[in-house]
Amino acid sequence: MAESEHPAFSGPTFSGKVYGFDAGFFDGQTAKRHAVRASRRPEGLAIEGDGISLIWRYPELVLLDAARDGHRVQICHAGESGPRLTMTGANVRYLLAQAAPQIGQAARGHRLLRPLLISGGLTAAIIVFALAVPYLSRSIAPLVPERWAGGLGDAVIAMVSETRTRCTAEGGRAALDRLTERLRAGREDIPAMEVGVIDDPGINAFAAPGGRIVLLEGLIRAAKGPDEVAGVLAHEMGHSMHYHSLARLIEALGAGIFLESIGGDFGSLANLALTLSYSREDEREADGTAVELLAGSGISTAGLADFFDRLAGESDDGGLSVYAALASTHPLSAERAQFVRQGTETGAATTPALSDEEWDALKAICDF
C-alpha cells in the first residue's frame, strides 16, 4: 500500500546513484496537476513536492502508458483508486524498470490487462465478451474501472478549462454543493459526483466520465431561477448515472479499440469525448432520471421544462437561439419539454431549489 509517511531516505542506492525525475502527480480527486519530484529509492519510488510525500513500492507499480523513446512514462499504484504519476526524463522507463521489472514489459496487451484486472475486477471473460460484441456499448460502459473513468473525466475537464478559470467563490461553491446533495439525497444508486462551474459565457453544461459535471457560468446567468439550474444539473446527473459519455466513446471507437486505450494517454480520448453527441435514447433516459431526481428532492420540474422551451426556441431576428451551444449537444423537442413539465404530479409539494441568498451566491460563484 502507498504510505503517507516514511523514514528519512538512507542506506544503499542503486548503482551508487539516486535517480530522480520531474513528474506530474494527479490525485484522482481533482484535475489539478501537482509538480513533484519522483526519486528511485531502495524502499520504493518516492514522490515529493507540492505538499505530497508518498512511497510507492516497486512491486505495486503499474504501467499505464509510455513514450516510444522511453523518456516519459505514466504509472499508477495497484493499491490506490485514482492517483497517477507521469514521469519525464532521459531513459526514465529503463531506469525505473531496473527496480520494477514489470515497467519494462513491452507487450501492450499485458500492460493493459493488469490494471484492468486489479482496479476494476474485470475478468478475462468480460473483456473477450466486450471485444466480440462492440455494439453493446451501454452494457460495457458500467464495467469500465472507476479509477480510469475518473482519470478520463479529469482530462476532459482539464482540457475544457485550459484557457478558462474554475469558479470557486466560497458562497457559490457552498450553494452548488447543497443543490447537488439535495438532488442526491435518498438515492443510494447515485455515485459520487464532482460538480463545478467554469468562467465561460457560453450557455452549456456537460457530464464527463467518472461523475464529473461542469456548468458554464453563462448557463447560470441565463437561468431565470434556481429551479432551472437544478433541472439542468439533474439532467446531467442522469447522463452520468447511465454512463452515456463512456457509452458514446465505446460506440465511436468500437469496444476493442476502446479497451486497448484504457491505461493510455487520456488526451486523444478526452478530445474525442468533447465532440460526441448523445443519442435520442440517451436524452430521454436523462430526462426521465432528471424528473425522478427533481420530484424526489421536492423541486418542481417546471423550471427545467421552461429552460428547455427557451433552449428549443429562436431569437427575435429569426436566427439560432443564444442557447445553440447547449442545443447542439442536447437536441430538444417540444415533446421532451412537455414530458418534463408533466413529471411532477399535480399538487405535489415543492420548494425552491435554493433560497434567495443561496441563489444570489451561486450567480456570483465566478466573482473573484
The CATH number of whichever domain residue 87 belongs to comes to: 2.30.29.30
> Which residues of the chain have a pLDDT value below 70?
1-19, 28-31, 65-70, 79-82, 105-136, 138, 186, 253-268, 275, 312-335, 343-347, 368
In this structure, is residue 346 part of a structural domain?
yes
In this structure, is residue 122 part of a structural domain?
no
Range of the domain at 356: 139-363
Q: Are 157 and 300 contained in the same domain?
A: yes
Q: Are 84 and 145 contained in the same domain?
A: no
pLDDT tens digits, 218-229: 999 999 999 999
Q: Are 78 and 173 contained in the same domain?
A: no
Q: Are 55 and 98 contained in the same domain?
A: yes
- Cell numbers at 256, concatenated: 476493442
pLDDT tens digits, 282-339: 888 888 899 989 988 999 988 888 887 777 663 333 333 334 444 445 555 566 777 7
Q: Are 186 and 53 contained in the same domain?
A: no
Q: Are 275 and 154 contained in the same domain?
A: yes
Place of cell 433560497: 355
Write out 93-111 in H/E/C secondary structure. HHHHHCCCHHHHCCCHHHH
pLDDT of residue 265: 58
pLDDT of residue 358: 97
335 labelled catalytic: no
Q: Give the torsion through C-alpha atoms of 73, 248, 135, 191, to 10 deg.
A: 80
- What distance in Å separates the CA atoms of residue 103 and residue 115, rounded to the nearest whole number? 12
Q: Are 67 and 159 contained in the same domain?
A: no
Q: Are 171 and 95 contained in the same domain?
A: no
Q: Are 207 and 61 contained in the same domain?
A: no
Q: Percent helix, strand and coil across the chain, each rounded to 5?
A: 45, 20, 35
pLDDT of residue 60: 87
pLDDT of residue 78: 78
In this structure, is residue 129 part of a structural domain?
no
- Cell numbers at 346, concatenated: 399535480
| DSSP per-residue string spanning 55-97 | EE-GGGEEEEEE-TTSSEEEEEETT-SS-EEEEESTTHHHHHH
Contact between 264 and 142 under an 8 Å Cβ cutoff? The reply is no
Name the domain count of the chain: 2
Q: Strands 212-216, 205-208: parallel, antiparallel or unpaired by DSSP?
A: antiparallel
In this structure, is residue 2 part of a structural domain?
no
pLDDT of residue 12: 29
Catalytic residue among 236, 251, 283, 285: 236
- Cell numbers at 268, concatenated: 486523444
Give the closest residue to 223 by CA, choosing from 353, 76, 136.
Answer: 353
Query: Does this model's pTM top 0.75?
Result: no
pLDDT of residue 118: 43
In this structure, is residue 4 part of a structural domain?
no
